[in-house]
Amino acid sequence: MEALRLILLFVHLVGFALLLGGAISQFLSGTFRISPAVLWGSIIQLVSGLGLAAPLRGGGDAEPDPIKLVVKLVIAVMIFIMVFIPRKREAVNKGHYIGIITLTLANAAVAVFWR
Ligand code: HEM
């Protein structure tokens, strides 16, 4: 179980790198298109996050707060919708990208600070 949790956590961190790194690099280069890194990052975060939300820690106090997991899921679904719907568009608004980056940072903050 612990090995599975660590593998899922590793994949989750790779997805985080793709999503945040992809979004910031698009933003800084001024090309406001949904890149494959951003799209795949958001999908990987949803799938690996749902896996991590399973009771893999032997139950009890070691498991993350279910309310925290619901908050993370809602934010991740919002990011996925913001990325999936305009994925074929030439470009989205600058504000749309700022929204994706802010929500991604918010979800990482929820992961780290909500104990
Ligand atoms: C954009 C979406 C997401 C981002 C940016 C994100 C970010 C992170 C980060 C940075 C960590 C590492 C924190 C640490 O190990 O201290 C983490 C862990 C975790 N995430 Fe996410 N996450 C996202 C989506 C989700 C979703 C949808 C779920 C499930 C509902 C989820 C569940 C978890 C769990 C359970 C952990 C803890 C792993 C552990 O230590 O056992 N995440 N997340």
**For the chain, what is the domain count?**
1
Domain extent, residue 49, equals 2-113
Q: Say if CB 89 and CB 33 are below 8 A apart.
A: yes
Cβ within 8 Å of residue 7, ≥6 positions away: none
What DSSP string runs through 20-60? HHHHHHHHHHT--S--HHHHHHHHHHHHHHHHHTSS-S-SG
Residue 1 has pLDDT above 90, yes or no: no
Q: What confidence score (pLDDT) does residue 33 get? A: 96
User: For 7-25, how does the pLDDT look when each residue is reduced to its tens digit (9 = 90+)?
Assistant: 999 999 999 999 999 999 9
> Average pLDDT for residues 92-112, to the nearest whole number?
97
Q: Spell out which residues line ligand 1, taking CB within 6 angstroms.
A: 5, 9, 12, 16, 19, 45-46, 49-50, 52-53, 64, 69, 72-73, 76, 79, 104, 107-108, 111-112
pTM comes to 0.96
> Average pLDDT for residues 93-112, to the nearest whole number?
97
- Residue 111's φ and ψ, nearest 5 degrees, are -60, -40
Q: Which pair of structure tokens corresponds to residue 49?
A: 């996050």
Band of residue 59 on the pLDDT scale cut at 50, 70, 90:
confident
